[in-house]
Amino acid sequence: MTSRPSSVVLVSSGLDSAVLLAHEALQFDVRPVYVRSGLAWEGAELQMLARLMATPVLAAARPLAVVDLPMHDVYPADHWAMTGTPPTYDTPDAEVYLVGRNVALLAKAGIVAARAGARRIVVGALAGNPFPDATPAFFTAMAEALSRGLAHALTIAAPFAALQKSQVIELGARLGVPFELTLSCMKPAGGEHCGRCSKCRERRDAFAEAGVTDPTPYAQAAPRPA
């Protein structure tokens, strides 16, 4: 039997990551990688991710690899991502940009891929992502730089780049992804979504748009429109 090509997938515990992993596992030998950078929500993410990885829908994936790339020396101590005090519910995406986030994640993932003999790195960028390190041009340039620097040919794929979050939820529902074991929150507490950050807003809105029941426990109700 011919072995399947290997794919390194950058993951968090978010619903986009969960669906991406399940989708990739249909075609590739999936190697999920979590890059730990010292951000406020990572402890909760890793706990949820361990539960998610143990579910049948991800049984074909290899064990999760957790690698470290601390960012406390480039993000100041009072940065909201370090303190766990995210911007408000209606904050636009552009205001929650973590400078250089994908540059750092892909550099680390590239080394993991080269050592594992994988030729493909997969990210969960969605349609409408406003950040400069989530464009097709950036991914092409980064893949070329990694390939040259590691002497190991790599491509960077964003299979959901044409999809909205609601469409990802629809796909995940078809694949049987357990959304209750995903976490998309910048200030989680006790395993619950805070209900008051912009990631919680995106999650609520996407489930409603998809017409899929949202199984998420939110610590607080959504703020009422002014």
Asked if residues 128 and 163 have their Cβ atoms less than 8 Å apart, the reply is no
Token pair for 196:
């008051």
Query: What is the C-alpha to C-alpha distance for residues 191 and 13, in angstroms, rounded to an integer?
Result: 12
In sequence order, the 6+-apart residues with CB closer than 8 A to the CB of 56 are 176
pLDDT score recorded for residue 226: 55
Q: How far is CA 90 from the centre of its chain?
A: 21
Tell me: the pLDDT tens digits for 139-187?
999 999 999 999 999 999 999 999 999 999 999 999 999 999 999 999 9
In sequence order, the 6+-apart residues with CB closer than 8 A to the CB of 115 are none
**Backbone CA torsion sign across 226, 131, 185, 127:** positive
Query: What is the C-alpha to C-alpha distance for residues 57 and 172, in angstroms, rounded to an integer?
Result: 10
Band of the pLDDT at 108, cuts 50, 70, 90? very high
pLDDT score recorded for residue 149: 98
Distances (CA, A) of 184 to 11, 16, 84, 134: 12, 9, 14, 18
Token pair for 111:
């080394």
Q: Which of 178, 133, 138, 141 is nearest to 21 (CA)?
A: 178
Asked if residues 186 and 86 have their Cβ atoms less than 8 Å apart, the reply is yes
Query: What is the C-alpha to C-alpha distance for residues 58 and 49, in angstroms, rounded to an integer?
Result: 11
Is the pLDDT reported for residue 138 higher than 60?
yes
